[in-house]
Amino acid sequence: MNIVAVVYGVALTASLIQRPRILLDPVSAPDLVPGLALLTAGVLAAYSFFSYVLSIGANKPYDVTWTKSSSKWYSIIRFATDLILASLYVHLLFTAVNIEAGPNMHPRLASFAFALILVFVGAAVVQLVRYVRVSFIKIIAAAVSLVLWLTLRSTVETRHTDIALEIGLLIGALIYCGLTYWRSYHDWKKTAD
């Protein structure tokens, strides 16, 4: 593998080690909302890594050999965007783990929604670099995250709203993963035929 794969693995491990109570007692009051956020971020990061592995295949993902026929600059840009996207997932995982919640505290989820915006915009940029076309699924996910972020910045959340919101985000993440997988499979099947 390469450094992008290492970044995904280290980020997921570090986010789990940073707050082990989320894994040990995920349904306790202070850990429920951060646990759901971490699960959502973990699903998105795992799916992104899965998509990354599928897109590079068994080949060298970045052709940076110094020959006249190699596409050095394109490969360098592609590597940079892949690494930036992996870093955005690191940010998302750490944002999820650092949501503070408790019996007398209202979790602040605006930073998590902002991290989602960065991830979906980053995923759209990576797709643009790889395939020269962006899926509307990523744009819609970024737009929904933007509306959510603007709403969360101006309202005070309650504990029940936060739990419902995190469950909704988890369901949304699963739908996002399913739709993007279906779309990429559909595109692959169309070109394979």
pLDDT of residue 1: 43
pLDDT of residue 114: 92
Q: Which domains does the chain have, with CATH numbers?
A: 3-188 (1.20.1410)
DSSP string, 119-160: HHHHHHHHHHHHHS---HHHHHHHHHHHHHHHHHHHS---HH
Half-sphere exposure of residue 77, counting CA atoms within 13 Å on the CB side?
11
Residues 7, 123, 33: CA angle, nearest 5 degrees: 70
What is the rounded distance in angstroms from the CA atom of residue 130 to the CA atom of residue 84?
Answer: 14
Q: Which two tokens stand for residue 100?
A: 């503070």
Please state the pTM of the whole predicted model.
0.79
**CA 178 from centre of chain:** 14
pLDDT of residue 64: 57
Predicted confidence (pLDDT) per residue in 132-186, tens digit: 677 888 899 999 999 988 888 777 666 567 778 888 888 888 898 888 888 877 7
pLDDT of residue 116: 93
> Which residues of the chain are modeled with pLDDT < 50?
1
Whose tokens are 């980020």? That residue is: 11
With helix as H, strand as E and coil as C, how does 9-40 read?
A: HHHHHHHHHHCCHHHHCCCCHHHHHHHHHHHH
